[in-house]
Structure 1
């Protein structure tokens, strides 16, 4: 009976490292497969949002296509056609389709 109790003792199987090591390995796997790529993607998105300028052709997260008519730090006015202008938060921009040649803010 004492053999069973000794085998069930967690300290007998390698000490505390035998318990902690699997958690460290799982955290490292999650970091390199999930957390780090997400951070890189967020950094690229923030750079894209910072590079928007007047005249750029963009698409919003809702699928609206247009060109940037006006910019502020927080908002973007998108010209959809000759008469329609819509105001969006800068974070609502999904992608820059075509950058405006040589135009500055």
Structure 2
């Protein structure tokens, strides 16, 4: 009786296992593609924009740090910026802490340049 049950179970498994596994591979590839376009690519784009922002800083720019400190760039070293937050008050911050450049004219010029590049 037990041997008959094993024989039947083996027969059913052989019938179901005949399907190819390409459907699973296609689903995995689609999931990776969705993750790439929804998560990885936008993050890379933001990182590129942040790097451009940091590289374009110059003395006199009004900036905001990640901690919310507003100041004017008073000095630039390789990885350290000196910000003047009040008259005669300077603090040192890492370049990577800068999240926003508040110079409206430069923003407008950069936007115009980007629009021209996209049209070409």
Q: Same fold (TM over 0.5)?
A: yes
| Number of corresponding residues | 97
Computing the radius of gyration from Cα coordinates, the structure with the larger value is: 2
User: What residue is the counterpart of 2:16 in the other structure?
Assistant: 8
The answer to whether the aligner puts 1:31 opposite 2:36 as a matched pair is: yes
TM-score with structure 2 length normalisation? 0.74
**Structure ranking higher in helix proportion:** 2
RMSD: 1.7
- Structure-1-length-normalised TM-score: 0.84
Matches within 5 A, 1:68-83: 68-83=73-88
Deviation string, structure 1 residues 36-69 (Cα, Å, up to 9, x no partner)? 1110110011000000000000000000001000
Higher relative contact order (CA 8 A, sep 6+): 1
- Give the gaps of 5 or more residues in structure 1: none
Q: Could you tell me how far 1:27 is from its partner in structure 2?
A: 0.3
